[in-house]
Structure 1
Amino acid sequence: MAAGTQQQKQGIFAAHQIAALARDGAILPLTPFAADQIQPASLDLRLGRRAWRMRASFLPGGKSLGDAIKRHALHEINLSAGAVLETNCVYLAELSESLALPKDISAAANPKSSTGRIDVFTRVIADRARGFDTIEPGYSGPLYAEISPRTFPILARENSRLSQIRFRRGNTKLDGAGHAALHAREKLVSNANPDFAGGIPVSIDLSGFEGGLVGYRAKRHTGLIDVDRTASCDAADFWEPIFSRGGGELVLDPGEFYILASKEAVRVPPDHAAEMTPFDPLVGEFRVHYAGFFDPGFGAEEAGGAGARAVLEVRSHDVPFILQDGQAVGWLVYERMMETPHNLYGARLGSNYQAQGLKLSKHFRTPR
């Protein structure tokens, strides 16, 4: 693609355009990308060799992250051979990818789906940043990941991938009318009359899946999860299944972590991407979905994903809270792609969560 042509387009960068950004020097990896590192509309970020156990979470707020590490780090950790990151601790890790973005390109980061589903709170920080997970247009410098396992201790190492980043040019998000028009064309969710005020509403399913299963609650004091190993853990050692009792309600215990699923089947058409955002915070003291990126093709029939649900990571804060079947818990906000990816999210890419119902992270063997 000629540079002049690309500059006239606005939208989320597709995989082949992310590769072009790297070739042009806007993304600077320490080592060449892994074969599956570029996703249809995002780039997986790899942990670097060094991490630090921090005294507390922080934002640099216009100051150098290097200076902040010197002031607030308790000790340095070498990730080259792997290291255990303990629960309720805050770590800062350098990332293998740095940026030298053009002035008209910005970026946003998010935990990967597998990261959110094991309750690892992860945020990307740019040098001198005043906000998490937000990379300003024209940013040039290193990237770091703040990592805080909440429920399970994890084993991570250099090149582990906990976060992902999207690149965009221009105003890419749809407004209410844009969501309504796209839903009329594509039927983004399976419910009949969605409200488009903040995107596409997503509600909770407590009616029960196969066998009456409605979700999972994380156990405490479990073993270790190696973030790079698939199907390495027995789900029964880490999760307590929750079954419907016919009332359509679930009491969330404060501080506990739950995996639930949306009532709606969700579709992301090939020429759009989506992100889960919190519903109105006034509806209750709970947080839904740490990992919010949905790639083009998620839930799309042409990519083998018909009927895919949004899996929701849920935590109640401060007080017990009663969730009700069908209660709205989040918005799916859609954004225009600059170009349609050559490969969509799905089986062809080995995507872990296409056509999912209620599904734990890839680290767990499927409960029987």
Structure 2
Amino acid sequence: MVEQHRAGILPAQAIAALAENGGISTRRPLDDDQIQPASLDLRLGRHAWRIRASFLPGAGNTVKDRLSELALHKLDLSDGAVLETGGVYLVPLFERLRLPADVSATTNPKSSTGRLDVFTRVIADGARAFDAIPMGYEGPLYLEIAPRTFPILVRAGSRLSQVRFRRGISRLSDLELLNLQQEQRLVDSDAPDVAAGGIAMGVDLAGEAWDGLLGFRAKKHTGVVDLDKRAGLDVEDFWEPLRARGRTSLVLDPDAFYILASREAVHVPPDQAAEMVPFDPLVGEFRVHYAGFFDPGFGHAAAGGSGARAVLEVRSREVPFILEHGQTVGRLVYERMAERPTYLYGSDLGSNYQGQGLKLSKHFRPFAPGL
């Protein structure tokens, strides 16, 4: 009898089974906390290449073959190396895949990576798109890294991205979203805007929840951020706090990087996963870059949360743009899990962003808005 599998995002226990059965292989044993409730953290290998430009290998080509054309120089990550702003780097990952014929994978930056404006994308051999790994793929994975605002210190084993595995169609329809909103209140809104498979999310520029603090604007020409060191940096060495001062709008400076928060608190039930996706780019001259993925249990009361804001990583395009309080900046898409994870985000995992409000990455010390 053929074993039947439920469609959906694979949970932690299925990811562990995939690794045990050879679907995930590594050059270094998996770390104890590497498997998350619905995703697997990916680790940098021992070397990085500074490359001339971003690229996709295309059908029938390997990343290694293209490297010979594009590599400028090689860096040893064994004891750590600084990746400079404005550079593009390519790093082989410790993890390699041999996916079943009915399983695909999607990758995205980890939350802390996005909050530092570090642009990352995973590339697979033969890829025609970034961050998308087709069903049945067998081969290595590489991470493209482009620090945009701060120089970063990384080393072999550093985790900048994560992968989630999917079987079949998992995204909820508009009707399913509306029903789930009524049953479990996915966002704290009595009349959410549900369309195109997602719930609209607005930006909070009232400043009421954080003693008048609206967000943070990144400073230029700062020191280095060590990606493996927590709570070691002073916020105001890297960020300019933005305060309301009686206004509920913000003028985005061209090419500046901002950390803001969603107006709505988010709840991800244990049998669902969620992702923030961009809103229609025609609504304004700005871009919201989302690390994007919310594990099951994010903002869930039983896992130590009672709703949590989504952190927004915002950059204006080539002209200044006024962002207004409540303006829609993205949509929250929910996907069903193939089965409930054995543990949830925030449940004894040392999760950094459970119950978060307006929060910078884990690398910075706590900031007191009133000071």
Shift of 1:181: 1.4
Which runs of no fewer than 5 residues in structure 2 stay unpaired?
A: none
Letter in 2 for 1:41: A
- Contact 1:218–1:258 under 8 Å retained in 2: yes
1:330 deviation in Å? 0.4
* Farther off after superposition, 342-351 or 218-227: 342-351
Give the corresponding residue for 1:152.
Answer: 150
Displacement of 1:210 in angstroms is 2.5
Q: Deviations over 1:162-197 (max 9, x none)?
A: 000000100001111111111111100001111111
> Using the alignment, how far apart are the partners of 1:289 and 1:247 within structure 2?
24
Q: In structure 1, the residue corresponding to 2:356 is in which secondary structure?
A: coil
Show the counterpart of 2:213: 213
Q: What one-letter code is carried by the residue in structure 2 that aligns with 1:256?
A: A
Rounded Cα–Cα distance in structure 2 between residues aligned with 1:342 and 1:64:
37
Residue 5 of structure 2 is matched in structure 1 by 8
Q: Is the 8 A contact 1:125 1:143 kept in 2?
A: yes
For residue 247 of structure 1, report the CA deviation from its aligned partner: 2.4
Answer yes or no: is the 8 Å Cα contact 1:347–1:354 preserved in 2.
no
- 1:203 aligned partner: 202
Match of 2:314 in 1: 314
Cα offsets for 1:303-336 (capped at 9, x unmatched): 1111310011111111111100000100110000
Where does residue 77 of structure 2 map in the other structure? Answer: 79
Q: Which amino acid aligns with 1:40?
A: P
- Distance in 2 (CA, whole Å) between partners of 1:301 and 1:289 is 27
Distance across 2 between alignment mates of 1:76 and 1:290: 29
Measured in 2, the distance between the counterparts of 1:210 and 1:74 equals 46
Residues 102 and 167 in structure 2, CA contact (< 8 A), matched pair in contact too? yes
CA deviation vs aligned residue, 1:267-297 (integer Å, no higher than 9, x gap): 0000000011000111012111330100000
Alpha carbons 1:217, 1:259 under 8 Å: kept: yes
Cα separation, 1, equivalents of 2:169 and 2:293? 17
* Superimposed CA distance per residue, residues 10-62 of structure 1 (whole angstroms, 9 cap, x where no aligned partner): 11000011000001111111111101100000000000012100001111112
**Alignment partner of 1:50 out of 47, 50, 55:** 47
State the SS of the aligned residue for 2:29.
Answer: coil
Aligned to 2:366: 366
Equivalent residues in 2 for 1:232-311 (5 A)?
Answer: 232-311=232-311
User: Structure 2: how far apart are the matches of 1:190 and 1:255?
Assistant: 32
Q: Matched residue of 2:344: which SS?
A: coil
1:119 corresponding residue in structure 2: 117
- Contact 2:277–2:290 (CA under 8 A) maintained in structure 1: no
Q: Which secondary structure state, in structure 2, belongs to the residue aligned with residue 98 of structure 1?
A: strand
Q: CA deviation at 1:155?
A: 0.2
d(CA) in 1 for partners of 2:153 and 2:332? 31
Q: Say yes or no: does 1:342 pair with 2:339.
A: no
Q: Tell me how far 1:340 sits from its aligned partner.
A: 0.6
Same amino acid, percent of matched pairs: 64
Distance in 2 between residues matched to 1:137 and 1:239, nearest whole Å = 42
SS at match of 2:16: helix
- Cα distance in structure 1, aligned partners of 2:84 and 2:202: 32
Q: Distance in 2 between matches of 1:157 and 1:134?
A: 25
User: 1:249–1:325: 8 Å Cα contact kept in structure 2?
Assistant: yes
Residues 64 and 127 in structure 1, CA contact (< 8 A), matched pair in contact too: yes
Give, in angstroms, the shift of residue 348 of structure 1.
1.4
Question: Match for residue 134 of structure 2?
Answer: 136
Q: What secondary structure sits across from 1:365 in the alignment?
A: coil
For structure 1, which runs of at least 5 residues remain unmatched after alignment?
Answer: none
Match of 1:99 in 2: 97
What letter matches 1:99 in structure 2? L
Runs of 4+ in 1 over 2 A off after TM superposition: none
Distance 2:2 2:358 in 1: 45
Query: How many residue pairs are counted as aligned between the two chains?
Result: 365
Counterpart of 1:228 in structure 2 is 228
- Partner of 2:45: helix, strand, or coil? strand
Q: By how many angstroms is 1:4 displaced?
A: 4.9
Please report the RMSD computed on the Cα atoms of aligned residues, expressed in angstroms.
Answer: 1.1
Kept after mapping to 2: 8 A contact 1:126/1:135? yes
CA contact (8 A) 1:121 1:290 kept: no
For 1:75 and 1:81, the matched residues in 2 are separated by: 17
SS at structure 1 position matched to 2:32 = coil
- Name the SS of the counterpart of 1:349 in structure 2: coil
Shift of 1:8: 2.5
Does the 8 Å CA contact 2:270/2:341 hold for their aligned counterparts?
yes
For 2:2 and 2:20, locate their aligned partners in 1 and report how far apart those are by CA, in whole Å.
Answer: 16
Contact 1:276 1:289 in 2 (8 A): no
Please, what TM-score do these two structures have when normalized by structure 2? 0.97
TM-score under structure 1 length normalisation: 0.98
In the alignment, which residue of structure 2 is the partner of 1:38?
35
Please name the residue that 1:90 is paired with. Answer: 88
- Quick one: which of 21, 25, 28 aligns to 1:24? 21
